[in-house]
Amino acid sequence: MALIIDGKAIANNVKAEVKEGSEALVARFGEEARPNMTLVLVGSDPVSKRLVELKTKDCEAAGITPTVISLSETTSEEKLLRLIDRLNNDADVRSILCQLPVPEHISTKKLLAAIAPEKDVDGFSARIDSDDYDIAACTPAAVMRMLKEAGVDVEGKHCVVVGRSNIVGKPMAIQLLLNNATVTVCHSKTVGLAEHTRRADVLIVAAGRARLITADMVKEGAVVIDVGMNYIEGHPVGDVDYDSVEPKASMITPVPGGVGPMTRAYLLVNALKLAERAARGNQ
Ligand code: NDP
């Protein structure tokens, strides 16, 4: 039986830490320094709407002031980019989040590039050198914290990441490298995926393919982190076939209740860091 890494419980601790940090910032610099987050939602996708609601609640619990801007599905790319520009230049706005996915007529790449790095609460524009890693992409930062809380030191371990997206797979591989792991990154063109995953001491899966990883693809005693979030008949399902993999793994994250709540908690960590930077800059 694997130890289940409880993302919800760790996320509650992270939220409490951020709340403490927010209040300390306000105590030192005044109410105007309170962290805030502007959440932009384009369209009416129910999952995105729900995520924005959850993120808003998380902010409130952590002493961060949320503002939600909801735009219609037909909002043009130009109008959205103008809004981002306005938010970038508004000194009262400390951090910006644009809920993904956006409708197809809007370029995600252009949109993410438009958000000023000093307000990018998702950490998508984080630089890849270790010196600038205090604002990290949320999901990889969340995974690193979960590993730490579970007592897993990746130094010298073989970590296999399935997925190479700019927002999860690539920054995940970099965070592991920064922590002295030996890293293999797999993707949709990888030949013999199972041969790679079977060699993993720590397997991190972010492919967006429901139950892609089955027991035969996992080494006995491996640590398995499931980033995937897929919906089957309205139910959340990870990229790992939990029921078959769990007995083989030494530790595993569930879906839901694993990486998801931790990613959201790391948004709060970044919001606090951005507000702290802004407050120091205004001194
Ligand atoms: P993307 O679709 O951007 O990237 C998926 C990656 O997986 C790509 O690199 C793709 O390869 C690779 N891939 C797809 N199919 C296979 C396969 N059969 N074998 C090996 N590799 C494969 O997704 P994201 O990175 O944005 O997200 C990944 C998953 O994580 C999704 O389910 C998403 O919902 C979830 N997610 C969950 C979060 C959380 O908080 N829990 C946060 C962010 C994401 P290629 O590059 O060749 O196309």
Nearest of 233, 149, 168, 162 to residue 195 by alpha carbon: 162
Same fold across 30-119 and 138-259: yes
Q: What is the pLDDT of residue 136?
A: 86
Q: Which amino acid is at 227?
A: V
**How confident is the model at residue 132, as a pLDDT?**
55
At 70, list the tokens: 């909801």
Domain range list for the chain: 30-119, 138-259
In the chain the first and final C-alpha atoms are separated, in Å, by 53
Q: What is the signed CA dihedral for 259, 164, 85, 97, rounded to 10 degrees?
A: -10
Instruction: For domain 30-119, give the CATH number.
Output: 3.40.50.10860
Confirm whether 92 is a catalytic residue. Answer: no
CA of 73 to the centre of ligand 1 (A): 24
List 6, 15, 58, 99, catalytic entry: 99
Look at residue 283 in the predicted model and tell me its pLDDT.
Answer: 63
Is-catalytic flag, 99? yes
Q: Give the chain's residues under pLDDT 70.
A: 127-134, 283
* CATH code, residues 138-259: 3.40.50.720
